[in-house]
């Protein structure tokens, strides 16, 4: 057998528990940077893993003990109150970084959400890295790429958008609305020369994941270090709403 085995899709281990109770012999030693959090701990690690911003009114971000683990973001009570969670600022297009978030939005008509890469882990109150206040695109970050679902936008359509060196790209409407209480997995990959972004989306049952959902050329500065982040904001003067993050995964493709 070759010293290198390349798998284009995935490995599926089924028989470990039926024989020895394990399915891997030897320690896996990953070459690439990998971040994975299923939020299975007693409390959110805000010392070593996550930066949390709570600039709004009565907003919270904390572990919520449900099946499989999660962290619950609760937006502020005042209109446009925002909160955010972000990783260390260590990922970049030069390393072909990727990120993936499994997320549920409870009330789409009263909430704005950004999921993706940004040059800051969080933004000050009333802002997300990229959002649509008064139905107008606003890129607060200097470099960012991600999914935007914003009740201040004309529809609940899922958008992909980016900004490179304070220059906005043209956002793309994916033509899919996010329904209340719907759970989806959102993935962003920095591809090509590290400036382009490919976007993938799948439902909680695992469908709609193979084709590229969206693509933005020249989307970020390849050398700029980025955080993996989720930003949420209260919209339509709707009071506190919740966004549940089931997992966050990130790393490098090289």
C-alpha to C-alpha distance for 228 and 192, rounded to whole angstroms: 19
Per-residue pLDDT of the chain (254 residues; tens, 9 = 90+): 567 888 877 787 766 555 566 777 788 888 888 999 999 999 999 999 999 999 989 999 999 999 999 999 999 999 999 999 999 999 999 999 999 999 999 999 999 999 999 999 999 999 999 999 989 999 999 999 999 999 999 876 899 999 999 999 999 999 889 999 999 999 999 999 999 999 999 886 666 554 568 999 999 999 999 999 999 999 999 999 999 999 999 999 87
Beta-carbon contacts of 112 under 8 Å, excluding residues fewer than 6 positions away, are: 128, 131, 132, 148, 149, 150, 151, 152, 232, 233, 234, 235
Tokens of 159: 């958008």
Domains of the chain, with CATH numbers?
33-252 (2.60.120.200)
Q: What are the Cα distances from residue 197, in Å, to 43, 73, 194, 218, 219?
A: 33, 26, 8, 8, 6
Q: 151: closest CA among 105, 106, 181, 109?
A: 109
Burial of 164 (0-12, 13-18, 19+ CB in 10 A): buried
Given a contact cutoff of 8 angstroms between Cβ atoms, the answer to whether 92 and 194 are in contact is yes
CA torsion through residues 63, 246, 82, 130, sign: positive
Cα(38)–Cα(102) distance, rounded to whole angstroms? 9
Write down the pLDDT at residue 28: 82
Residues 6 or more apart whose CB falls under 8 angstroms from that of 54 comprise: 60, 61, 83
Spatial CA neighbour of 151 closest among 240, 235, 239, 243: 235
Give residue 24's pLDDT. Answer: 77
Tokens 């993706």 correspond to what residue? 116
H/E segment holding residue 16: helix 16-19
Q: What is the DSSP string of 77-118?
A: SSTT-EEEEE--S-B-GGGTEEEEEEEEES-GGGEEEEEEEE
78-89 residues labelled b (16+ CB within 10 A) or e (exposed): bebbbbbbbbeb
């Amino acid at each position: 057998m070759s010293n290198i085995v390349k798998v284009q899709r995935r490995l599926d281990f089924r028989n470990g528990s039926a024989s020895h109770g394990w399915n891997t012999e030897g320690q896996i030693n990953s070459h690439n940077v990998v971040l994975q959090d299923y939020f299975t701990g007693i409390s959110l690690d805000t010392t070593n893993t996550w930066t949390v911003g709570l600039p709004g009114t009565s907003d919270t971000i904390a572990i919520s003990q449900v099946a499989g683990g999660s962290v619950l973001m609760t937006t502020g009570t005042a209109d446009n109150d925002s909160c955010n969670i972000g990783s260390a600022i260590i990922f970049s297009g030069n390393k072909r970084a990727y990120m993936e978030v499994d997320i549920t939005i409870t009330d789409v008509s009263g909430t704005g959400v950004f999921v993706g890469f940004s040059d800051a882990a969080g933004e000050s109150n009333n802002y997300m890295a990229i959002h649509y206040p008064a139905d107008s695109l606003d890129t607060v970050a200097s470099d960012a790429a991600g999914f935007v679902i914003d009740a201040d936008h004309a529809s609940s359509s899922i958008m992909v958008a980016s900004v490179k060196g304070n220059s906005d790209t043209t956002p793309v409407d994916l033509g899919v609305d996010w329904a209340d209480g719907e759970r989806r997995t959102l993935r962003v990959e920095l591809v090509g020369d590290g400036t382009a972004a490919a976007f993938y989306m799948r439902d909680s049952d695992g469908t709609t994941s193979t084709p590229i959902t969206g693509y933005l050329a020249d989307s970020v500065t390849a050398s700029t270090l980025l955080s993996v982040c989720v930003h949420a904001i209260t919209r339509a003067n709707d009071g506190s709403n919740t966004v549940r993050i089931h997992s966050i995964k990130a790393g490098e493709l090289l």
